[in-house]
Amino acid sequence: MQALVNGFRFGAVMIVVALALSGCGGTGMSGPSSEEAPAAPEAWTGSEAPPDPDNLLRAGDLAVAQVPDSVLIFIENQTSDAGTWNAGVVAPDGTEHRLQIGADGVAVLTGPTVTEDSDADKAKRRANVDGTHLDHRGAVDRVLGAVPDSSITELSLIDVNGTVVWDADVWDDKLAEHNVTVNAASGAVIGNRSD
């Protein structure tokens, strides 16, 4: 009987050892070997590097120049479309005009095209613009100050709970994404969240 118990114990120990070794990939140690280090997930999904902030500024200035007395309310880099910029500007009466601008910011590709919106939409845009003391250039300056050596892929003038802000999608020099929020009246950076 004692031999049967000892044989059972030995068999159970061998099964536990075999299971432990098979879970280690055969190296006899837990975790990956030095040759199998896990790859860090990539944050940036674009095919090329994030756009140069100067290209955003040129594209924004070009968009504003197409509609007299307009204000830029958004600009977004289209990585899926050769890095072109989609931009929206608002005329003094609240009418929004959309444009597509080349990646380097020097040529209008399409637009300006007027969007079909209600009077309420136009009034809301006018209110946002009226609550702004910081234009897109000032906003870019504040955002780049909050995340040095970075790139902006989207900048929008929006209302957040009654406060007009510039909201920016930003990529730092390690290609990690940040969301930076700047108070459009005071110019204060009120949010800098990294994803």
24 and 59 share a domain? no
* Mean pLDDT of successive 10-residue stretches along the chain, which has 195 residues: 40 38 38 37 53 92 96 91 92 95 94 92 92 94 94 95 94 92 95 84
22 and 110 share a domain? no
pTM of the model: 0.73
What is the per-residue pLDDT for 91?
95
Query: Which residues sit opposite 96 in a β-bridge?
Result: 90
User: Residue 40 falls within a domain, yes or no?
Assistant: no
CA atoms of 31 and 28, how far apart (whole Å): 10
User: Residue 128 falls within a domain, yes or no?
Assistant: yes
107 and 73 share a domain? yes
What is the per-residue pLDDT for 133?
92
14 and 80 share a domain? no
Number of structural domains (the chain) is 2
Helix (H) or strand (E) holding 10: helix 2-22
User: Residue 33 falls within a domain, yes or no?
Assistant: no
What is the per-residue pLDDT for 89?
97
What is the per-residue pLDDT for 195?
65
6 and 61 share a domain? no
Domain extent, residue 101, equals: 53-194
User: Residue 43 falls within a domain, yes or no?
Assistant: no
CA atoms of 75 and 156, how far apart (whole Å): 7
9 and 84 share a domain? no
